[in-house]
Chain A
Amino acid sequence: MTRIHIQANLYEHLRNHFSYTSFHEGQEEIILDVLRGRDVLGILRTGTGKSLCYQLPAKMLPGITIVVSPLISLMIDQVRELEAIHYRQVVALHSFQQWSERQTILRNLHHYKLIYVSPEILQNKQIITLFKQQHVSLFVVDEAHCISQWGYDFRPDYLRLLEVIETLHNPTVLALTGTATPNVQNDIQDKLKRPNMIEHVYPMDRENISLVVEEINGSEAEKLDHLLTWIKGTNEPTIVYFSSRIATEKVAQHIANQLANKRVAYYHGGLETTDRLKIQQQFMNDQLEIICCTSAFGMGINKANIRMIIHYHLPPQIESYIQEIGRAGRDGRDSISVLLYRQEDIHIPLQIIENELPTHAELRFIMERLIDYQDNKVLLPLDEDVIEQQFLIQPTKWRYLLYQLEQHGIVKEQEVQTTESTIKEVFNEINHFTEQRLRAKRQQLNEVINWIHTQSCLRTKLYEPFQQDITRKEANCCSNCGVVLEDSLEHDVSTDKETSDWQTLLKRVLLIGDID
């Protein structure tokens, strides 16, 4: 097919599957390259429809498109949304599925055009064998910064994707992300062994978002008061980010107590699936205006009218901060991002960083246990609960370690193969690597702190590492350039808090008196 043909075809598919008549910046260029079988690295800011870059080709390519997604909730959201617009032949494979459901999907793999998977699922032998028998046209790594040890959220199974791609007979590779410094971009290509990817990098600054950093010289209670003041000033959809689950619950409760007319809920990864779904959809349907949440909320949330993003705690790095504030004002209207900061806050992310990686003592303990496993010829358990009991280590840390052990050849398919002297050596190497990771994470946090303390334009400073030209914002640029808020008057609207009796509620649910 000629280029013209492909392009005409492209618009037809866009209309048929998505009811759109035009593309956002960057989408068409990326899709055309993908359809021509070129490996692509696409960097598009959040909210510009990254996912369309593979959802559309998936319908046009002869074989299957596999999308590696970092979060189960994210892939469930995407499948849900595609099903809602009647985009068929899409499915997600993840570890929360019942066995029977997964088997049904696997038996019918050839029925699907687009399959979402987690990197962990791709390590499952049965699944990879079945994939191997299919024709895979396109292999997508969504949120590709996860591959890079310099991106946030280092996940060892992401590093095994190269092997997976080779097993699947080297389909076209598309790596997508919302934020990546040149450093991370290189690392992604490096880890995927695809040095010649076509790079499509688009600017990520958002000129309709005002940036405010507010330093509070006072107690935690005073910080909470500042938060209330910001929230009082608006009736429009607001997300407040926290770095701990318990904080989302406490502050949501506080807001509900203090501001009776606000509809607020909390959201974090510890909630049941159904509760999460309901709260998310309430927010989408404007039944709620404020969500207090951890970073688990937001990825894949496509709500156009979010007006304010507040960070109550420090984000762990600039990249995640840019992604999170990028959820505001997708409709193009003026929006605001507020970061509340007390000097003492630095301890929270530092603590989190310490807890993410195995400590020296944990590492030593495990290395000693490994010798027992080898001597007794026992296989390492797969079940993470069992791991937790036997090695006294959290699953996330174990996954990190297991990858390291496999890389050093000490563990092979659950079997420990080593000698006392190698173990010592590897122990030192892993230790060294871990320290390096810790330093890198602290460095990323430092960048956030430095940015907060910038005296010059916050916008320029924030986007500088990612792009060359930054759009000038004339008014309400940032708290350093000056922000005047028109909307800061307290609104007094009555929101419909439910006080009806159950009969009325039930009638409303079943639309009695509403339809005939």
Chain B
Amino acid sequence: MIFRYVILSALKNLQYERSVSAVYYLIQGKQSIQTIQDAHLFEIDKYYRITKYLNKKRFMKEIQLLEQELYLEAMPNENYYELTSKANEWLEKNESKMELWIVNGMRYHYIDDVFFERLLLTIQVWANFVKNERTYIPVIEKFEVKHWVKQYFINSKNNVAQLMKNLYEELAEILHSIDELYVEIFVLQLTSYKKYGLAKVQIAEKTGSPKEDIELMTLTVVHQILDKVDAEPTRFPILAHLKSDVTEEKQLTFSASKTKSLLQKGYTIEQVAQQRRLKENTIYDHIVEIAIHDQTFNIQSYMTTDERHDIIKAIQQVQSYSLKDIKQAVTENISYFQIRLVLASWNKYL
């Protein structure tokens, strides 16, 4: 149900200006300017990268089902769909239930996995240590996570029993404020001494929900823990430590950040392009990317005030974020690049 809700409400927010692929790229988390720009522009940034491991086949199957069950209606353009009245009613009916489901994909997508995996493995390592069990199969296989938890374990070795009590207190405090069903789904996945947590497919069978819903519900708990810990890190020292050194690497592509530093040094677009042996168009892309990530980025140097007003007016007039439509409604000397820049910082003008 949650998975469907996400697809339908994202599609609705996109105002039928994008194909269903845009929804897929959004929730799967494609790191393209277009996707990130869409996320901000259409205010669906909280859905960004919330189903990282979703494959396109599975997604398209759900779209097909939604069409068969008359929630979606195909539009003339290939892969464009419209919500039916049945879908709109359904969304409305489930709105209050969905209030429990809180995520913030744009904010936590780079950390939620790592944090949860470190938590899972740390609990397993501590529990086995306390029980004197030295040969067991770690529940997380990822190299980086195993390495990190090993280091943490070495540093915490002398105090494990106490730390486990503290971790219980920290988790219990946060989990109390979350819906019980969500919390249960989260807790059932934890692995302890000689007791492996349930697989997502097992919880899905148990609760009769699709696997994607279980993932999305787990994500709610993880994001809310991260929220609470971010607000008061000193109150939750263990949880804060588990997320301590994860940084968001990929906000800006490496190439765009290089461009950014050259621009900051005062080089013009042409100079940057020349120096980096790139096409000017690529530099334009970088600038749009920079503007999306940095809402304080000054776009004034790339257009006059009049040009900016002209673009804003055109967007309001055509009631669309389609580049083509906007371009037709502005004076001819305004470029696509300038329109994209205004769209990149559009939230400022609302």
A→B interface (CB under 8 Å): 76, 80-81, 84-86, 98, 101, 104, 252-253, 256, 265-266, 271-279, 281-282, 284-285, 287, 498, 501-503, 505-512, 515-516
The 9 closest A-B pairs by CB, nearest first: A275-B199, A509-B192, A281-B196, A278-B199, A84-B135, A509-B190, A502-B187, A510-B168, A101-B143
Residues of A within 8 A of B161 (CB): 515-516
Q: What separation, in Å, do the CA atoms of A274 and B199 have in the docked complex?
A: 7
For B143, give the chain A residue with the smallest CB separation: A101
Residues of A within 8 A of B165 (CB): 510, 512
| A-contact bits for B127-138, CB 8 A (1 contact / 0 none) | 100110011111
- For residues 12 through 62 of chain B, which have their beta carbon under 8 Å from a beta carbon of chain A? 53
Q: Would you call A503 and B172 a contact (CB within 8 A)? A: yes
B75 within 8 A of A: no
B141 within 8 A of A: yes
Q: Would you call A515 and B164 a contact (CB within 8 A)? A: yes
- For residues 130 through 172 of chain B, which have their beta carbon under 8 Å from a beta carbon of chain A? 130-131, 134-141, 143, 161, 164-165, 167-168, 171-172
Interface centre among A253, A501, A505 (most CB of B within 10 A): A505
Q: Is the interface of A mostly helix, strand, loop or mixed?
A: helix
Q: Would you call A271 and B164 a contact (CB within 8 A)? A: no
For A252, give the chain B residue with the smallest CB separation: B205
Q: What separation, in Å, do the CA atoms of A505 and B105 have in the docked complex?
A: 28
Q: Would you call A265 and B199 a contact (CB within 8 A)? A: yes
Partner pick for A502 among B127, B183, B192, CB 8 A cutoff: B183
Partner pick for A511 among B137, B188, B192, CB 8 A cutoff: B192
Residues of A within 8 A of B197 (CB): 278
- Smallest Cβ distance from A473 to chain B, in angstroms? 35
B8 within 8 A of A: no
Q: What separation, in Å, do the CA atoms of A98 and B136 have in the docked complex?
A: 24
For B204, give the chain A residue with the smallest CB separation: A275
- Smallest Cβ distance from A105 to chain B, in angstroms? 9
Interface centre among B130, B135, B137, B195 (most CB of A within 10 A): B137
Residues of B within 8 A of A276 (CB): 199
For A516, give the chain B residue with the smallest CB separation: B161
Q: What separation, in Å, do the CA atoms of A502 and B187 have in the docked complex?
A: 7
Q: What separation, in Å, do the CA atoms of A104 and B183 have in the docked complex?
A: 37
Q: Would you call A287 and B195 a contact (CB within 8 A)? A: yes
B→A interface (CB under 8 Å): 53, 123, 127, 130-131, 134-141, 143, 161, 164-165, 167-168, 171-172, 175, 180, 183-184, 186-188, 190-202, 205
For A79, give the chain B residue with the smallest CB separation: B141
Q: Would you call A84 and B136 a contact (CB within 8 A)? A: yes
For B181, give the chain A residue with the smallest CB separation: A502
CB<8 Å pairs between A and B, sample of 14 = A85-B135, A271-B201, A272-B53, A274-B139, A274-B140, A275-B201, A281-B196, A501-B184, A505-B184, A505-B188, A506-B171, A509-B123, A511-B130, A511-B192
- Report if A510-B199 is in contact (Cβ < 8 Å); known contacts: A84-B137, A277-B139, A515-B164: no
Q: What separation, in Å, do the CA atoms of A46 and B164 have in the docked complex?
A: 41
Residues of B within 8 A of A287 (CB): 195-196
Q: Would you call A506 and B168 a contact (CB within 8 A)? A: yes
Q: Would you call A509 and B127 a contact (CB within 8 A)? A: yes
For B197, give the chain A residue with the smallest CB separation: A278
Residues of A within 8 A of B180 (CB): 501-502
Q: A505-B190, A510-B127 are in contact. List 10 more A-B contacts (CB 8 A).
A: A98-B143, A273-B141, A502-B180, A502-B186, A507-B168, A509-B192, A510-B164, A511-B127, A511-B164, A511-B192
For A271, give the chain B residue with the smallest CB separation: B201
Residues of B within 8 A of A98 (CB): 143
- Smallest Cβ distance from A17 to chain B, in angstroms? 13
Q: What separation, in Å, do the CA atoms of A276 and B172 have in the docked complex?
A: 28
Partner pick for A278 among B130, B139, B192, CB 8 A cutoff: B139
Q: What separation, in Å, do the CA atoms of A285 and B194 have in the docked complex?
A: 6
Q: What separation, in Å, do the CA atoms of A256 and B205 have in the docked complex?
A: 10
Q: What separation, in Å, do the CA atoms of A277 and B120 have in the docked complex?
A: 14
Q: What separation, in Å, do the CA atoms of A265 and B190 have in the docked complex?
A: 17
Partner pick for B187 among A81, A272, A509, CB 8 A cutoff: A509
Residues of A within 8 A of B190 (CB): 505-506, 509
- Smallest Cβ distance from B242 to chain A, in angstroms? 14
Partner pick for B196 among A252, A272, A282, CB 8 A cutoff: A282
